[in-house]
Amino acid sequence: MTVLVTGASGFIGRHVVAELLRKSIKVRVACRQGGKRKFPVDVDVRYLSGPGTAAIDWSDAVADCDVVIHLAARTHVSRDRDRDPSRAFRLANVDFARGCGEAASRAGVRRFIFISSVGVHGGTSGEQPVNVGSPIKPHTEYASSKAEAERVLTNLVFGSSTKLTVIRPPLVYGLGASGNFGMLVRALECGIPLPFGLLTSNRRSFVAVENLASLIVTCVNHPAAVNQTFLVSDGEDLSTVELLRRLGTAMSRSVRLFPVPVGWLALGSRLLGKDDMFQSLCGSLQVDVSKTRTLLSWQPIVSVDEGLRRSVERRL
């Protein structure tokens, strides 16, 4: 069996490649021409060529592959300098996925695993946890592009021999994570006081990158993963305060929190154009992973505390 991984040099991709190799599965990675990322010696590297994102030639990368894991994406950008962010997200997350999916379908790849985002369901979960049947209501351009890519791929493989599996993770943390998690780690390293002291009742689902990689690799062979969509988490939901305190314990650092009313945080975030950051740090977003656990007989391989410890072990 040969598995092609796109986005293999990224934060999640590196862990997926390592997990596949650990399972003795033959790994191929697709990189743009000029990429300098080094991979293990037993990884087959194929270089993509073409005049643009939508016109990239995937034929060599997908040839004789059994499974494609599509991780390549433009993720959240804290300071977006692109003149048209919506178009940039669409090119990277929709057109790139379409090109890869079309080539995979033509080549007879039997399974296409697409890593989407729980953000396709919106930024908050309300009173009930999000499940795979919850309404699709993306709240950011990134989430909108992921929702569109899901629709495109579903239509593309319909009636073909290629079967689609979609995974929608919440915030993914681990060693090397950027975004909001990386920002919190850096703040604790520097001893910066944080204004989240009152955020004790919100609840958010997270997933350690090791757990996400484990689920992705489970879907490579599992017969029940065909034509299914899955949510994933560590199985333990945390408030912002609890996350910070447990992260501080993992780092052996004291956590300095001061109380700022949530309404003030929301107003400040809005004025600064950081509504997305406010939602991801202060709101509640719980996911129901019962389908994933039951249908795939899957369990997280690391606990929250172990995942947090691994996230910072080389920074100490």
Stretch 244-268: mean pLDDT, rounded? Answer: 92
Nearest to 213 by CA among 26, 69, 75, 39: 69
Confidence grade of residue 243 (pLDDT, cut at 50, 70, 90): very high
Q: Which residues contact 129 (CB under 8 A, 6 or more apart)?
A: 205, 286, 287, 288
How high is the mean pLDDT of the chain? Answer: 91
- Beta-ladder partners of 68: 4, 112
* pLDDT bracket for residue 76 (50, 70, 90): low
47 counts as catalytic = no
What class does CATH assign to 2-173+208-233+289-295? alpha beta
Whether the pLDDT of residue 94 is over 80: the answer is yes
- Contact yes or no for 131/118 (Cβ under 8 A): no
Q: What is the pLDDT of residues 96-124, one digit of tens each?
A: 999 999 999 999 999 999 999 999 999 88
* Pairing label, strands 26-32, 111-115: unpaired
Under a CB-based contact definition with an 8 Å cutoff, are residues 121 and 150 in contact?
no
| 173-201 pLDDT per residue, tens | 999 888 889 999 999 999 999 999 999 99
Among residues 112, 142, 196, 278, the one annotated as catalytic is: 142
Is 311's pLDDT higher than 90? yes
Looking at residue 316, its pLDDT comes to 40
Over residues 121-169, the pLDDT tens digits come to 998 887 789 999 999 999 899 999 999 999 999 999 998 999 999 999 9
Predicted TM-score of the model (pTM): 0.93
Residue 51 clears pLDDT 90, i.e. is over it: no
211 near 302, Cβ under 8 Å?
Answer: yes
Q: Out of 185-199, 262-276, 290-304, pick the least confident.
A: 262-276
